[in-house]
Structure 1
Amino acid sequence: MRILFSSLTSHGHTYPLLPLARAARDAGHEVLYGTGEDFHPVLESLGLTPVSAGGSMHDAFARASTAIAGVGDAREVDPAQRNLIIGRAFGSEMPRQFAADLEPVVPTVDLVVHEAGNPGAGLAARRAGVPGVCHGFGRMTQDESLSAFITDELGAFAAEIGVEVPSGDYSIGLGNPYLDIYPPSLQHPDFVANGDRIELRPVPYAEPGELPAAVTEGSGPLVYLTLGTAFGSAPVLSKAIEGLASLDVRVLVSGGRIVEESELGELPGNVSVVSWLPQADLLPHLDLVVHHGGSGTTLGALGAGVKQLFIPQGADQFVNAEAVVGGGAAMSLQPDDVSAEAVATCARKLLGAGEVDEPVRRIAAEIAAMPAPSEVARRLPELAR
């Protein structure tokens, strides 16, 4: 079978799909992958055939900002216009480009697997009469304040190309079977009851690389601090570093190739900074992750049984923090509450034996029991009928 996977051009949207794409390849299927060229070397290294599609999210947001507010930088936009811009970017700008770029390819495949943030690939499949499957990357939400802006834009674009978008709270999946990598106990309860939901174990992916010496050298608990690949902030990292460094722990900080070590000032002796590291390989070594709440880091830590302190910055990070804290497996600080003292207090509590230990173990076991990518890959032919 010939399968096209497709995701937005970002780590958080692409990496969650790679385990299943690789499993489909291992099962003997021909696997194409449509996304921006920045990720083509990774795809080629996995034996997947890259297809150029979609461009960059940054450019899509710049176009949306220009159309809505007359400025090319979304950071300069009035907060009242922000949801309109997000709706335009995710509901129109990126779907239009993906649908156009993938139009010549989709009729040549038997199945399209599009991630939840990339309905453009799903619309291209529906327009060509090719079966589609939606691959999740995080928790489903019914945030009407934002989702309505996206679905309105998406519905208008779909109507232009003669495709009907199903109505309802979860229309972003286009009514396709949904591969859900979020543990059921933390997923939105209404969505867990959805009959088209297929569980898929989240498997963290990282580009090959060596772990820094700080992981194996020294003694004491190892704490990892990151704000991911899109929300890096030197001031926030500096506050967290100050708080963590005051504890008897080793602190490993990743700037995510966004924040340079020089921006963090003089560092204490128990703190090491790297720009990038293979996070999937790091997780089993950790005692605590202090992070932004991106879905990849959240699910990776949950699967590895690592305690978490969330300091969410934007996007779906607040939803992830709310879900995991609500499940008893983490603590969280809102942006205005992040200080060295607050981070130190929360980290100290989490590192000690406490009430989060049992939920952390329970959720790790729940994830381990979810169907592996190899199992779900064997079901793809039936989903293509």
Structure 2
Amino acid sequence: MRILFSGRPAYGHLYPLLPLAVAARDAGHQVTLATGAAFVPRLTALGFATHEVGISVGEAETEATRRHPDGAVIDVMLTMFADILPRRTLADLEPLLAAERPDLVIYEMSDVGAAGAARRAGIPAVSVTIGRSLPVDIRTHAAAGFEWIWNGDVPDEPMLGDACLDTWPPGLADPNTGSVPHRFPLRPVPWSPPAPPWRSPGSPLVYLTLGTVVFGATEVFRAALDGLAQLPVRVVVAVGPGDPAALGPLPDRMEVWRFVPQDQVLRHADLVVHHGGSGTTLGAAAHGLPQLVLPQGADQFANAEALTTQGSGLALLGDDVQPDVVAACARTLLGEPVHRATAQVLRDQIAAMPSPTDVLPTLEAFATA
């Protein structure tokens, strides 16, 4: 089978596709990747046939803000994800699909232009959940904006389309994926670039990150660090594209990295303090770890709510992110067994989901149906 994977050139958008792409390649399928310029060399170095398609989220945000200098956040976001990004993806992908004629297109849910290009080419397409679906009120508001992508026949979930690979376990389920006609569970498997083995600095260990988008929230980082400094724990901090020096001086038992092999760190962690990005949320859940979520935007608030409702985490919003409050929450999550026990329920649910290799026969059947 010939499979084309398409994703925006960003860590949290593209990397969730790679475990499935690797599994498909290892199973003998012909795999092609399509993404923006910044990630083409990285994927080529991994041995994938990779094509430059579309532009970055940052470029789209610049253009959308230019169009709506005083507009509401929702108008800027819809302009980005229902207009600028999909138009560029569709324009670049249409000739590639015509030339390669894949049997299946797999796209991360924000790259909906790939679904539009696949529909025009008569090729089945499957989305991969990399976050939460649109809330009902926003989806209603946005429906008209997605019509051109879907040639007027907009699915109930305009970003998930007619089929999706759903990476959310039952305990954190996105209630809206149930309306997708073809929903295939897929175990969220971590992926990061090859790295040397990571050595834990000791325990108890807290892993702190704000991901690769809101990494510039230095005040949030400092509040979390000052709070964790009150506890007898070691802390590993990942600042992503941020500057480690911006955090200022830290105790010896705290170490700061730009990037870490997150899955290796999570194997040794006792608590994860983070922004609520889906990759970190699911990664921590897969290891049965309690989580303290400090959401900053997008669907991070929905992820925080899902974790607190399920019982394996706590969340702090806005002005509540203060050192003493962080310390109190971290002390609770480290000390009370109920949160860890509930987190281990999520771990077991994720372990029971089909792996990328397991789901390939289902995708083959869908592509040929």
2:171 to 159, 167, 185: 185
Q: CA deviation at 1:41?
A: 3.2
Q: CA deviation at 1:273?
A: 0.8
Q: Please say if 1:209 is aligned against 2:201.
A: no
Query: What's 1:171 paired with?
Result: 158
| Structure 2 residue identity aligned to 1:138 | G
- Structure 1's unaligned 5+ residue stretches are 70-77
Please give the residue correspondences for 1:79-94 in structure 2 after superposition, counting only pairs within 5 Å.
Answer: 81-94=72-85
* Whole-angstrom CA distance in 2 between matches of 1:34 and 1:220: 41
Query: What's 2:282 paired with?
Result: 299
| Structure 1 residue identity aligned to 2:357 | S
* Whole-angstrom CA distance in 2 between matches of 1:183 and 1:15: 19
Q: Please say if 1:122 is aligned against 2:122.
A: no
* Whole-angstrom CA distance in 2 between matches of 1:338 and 1:257: 22
Q: Map Cα deviations across residues 308-359 of structure 1 (whole Å, 9 max, x no partner).
A: 1000000111111111111111111012210101110000000113321221
| Structure 2 residue identity aligned to 1:101 | D
Q: TM-score, normalised by structure 2?
A: 0.94
Q: 1:31 to 1:167 in 2, by over 3 A?
A: closer
Q: Judge conservation of contact 1:290–1:310 (CA < 8 Å) in 2.
A: yes
Q: Provide the alpha-carbon RMSD of the alignment.
A: 1.7
1:198 to 164, 184, 209: 184
| Structure 2 residue identity aligned to 1:137 | I
Q: Please say if 1:366 is aligned against 2:352.
A: no
Q: CA deviation at 1:45?
A: 3.8
Q: 1:139 to 1:184 in 2, by over 3 A?
A: farther
* Whole-angstrom CA distance in 2 between matches of 1:193 and 1:98: 26
SS in 1 for 2:20: helix
- After TM superposition, the structure 1 stretch with the greater mean CA deviation from structure 2, 294-303 or 135-144, is 135-144
Aligned length: 365
Q: Please say if 1:248 is aligned against 2:235.
A: no
Q: Judge conservation of contact 2:237–2:254 (CA < 8 Å) in 1.
A: yes
| Structure 2 residue identity aligned to 1:173 | L
Please give the residue correspondences for 1:1-385 in structure 2 after superposition, counting only pairs within 5 Å.
Answer: 1-69=1-69, 78=70, 81-107=72-98, 108-144=101-137, 146-155=138-147, 157-158=148-149, 163-168=151-156, 170-174=157-161, 176-192=162-178, 194-210=180-196, 213=199, 215=200, 217=201, 219-232=202-215, 233-258=217-242, 260-385=243-368
Q: TM-score, normalised by structure 1?
A: 0.90
- After TM superposition, the structure 1 stretch with the greater mean CA deviation from structure 2, 271-280 or 343-352, is 271-280
- Structure 2's unaligned 5+ residue stretches are none
* Whole-angstrom CA distance in 2 between matches of 1:321 and 1:58: 25
* Whole-angstrom CA distance in 1 between matches of 2:285 and 2:329: 18
Q: Judge conservation of contact 1:139–1:182 (CA < 8 Å) in 2.
A: no
Q: CA deviation at 1:190?
A: 5.0
* Whole-angstrom CA distance in 2 between matches of 1:201 and 1:4: 20
Q: 1:150 to 1:33 in 2, by over 3 A?
A: farther
Q: CA deviation at 1:189?
A: 3.5
Q: CA deviation at 1:224?
A: 0.8
- After TM superposition, the structure 1 stretch with the greater mean CA deviation from structure 2, 99-108 or 243-252, is 99-108
| Structure 1 residue identity aligned to 2:163 | P
| Structure 2 residue identity aligned to 1:183 | P
Q: Map Cα deviations across residues 188-241 of structure 1 (whole Å, 9 max, x no partner).
A: 33534655211000001111123565x2x3x43010110000101111101110
Q: Map Cα deviations across residues 253-311 of structure 1 (whole Å, 9 max, x no partner).
A: 111122x1221122122211111111122111111110001000000110011111000
Runs of 4+ in 1 over 4 A off after TM superposition: none
SS in 1 for 2:189: coil
Q: Judge conservation of contact 2:167–2:187 (CA < 8 Å) in 1.
A: yes
Q: CA deviation at 1:370?
A: 0.2
Q: Map Cα deviations across residues 11-63 of structure 1 (whole Å, 9 max, x no partner).
A: 11111111111111111111011111222233224332111011111010111
State the identity %.
Answer: 42
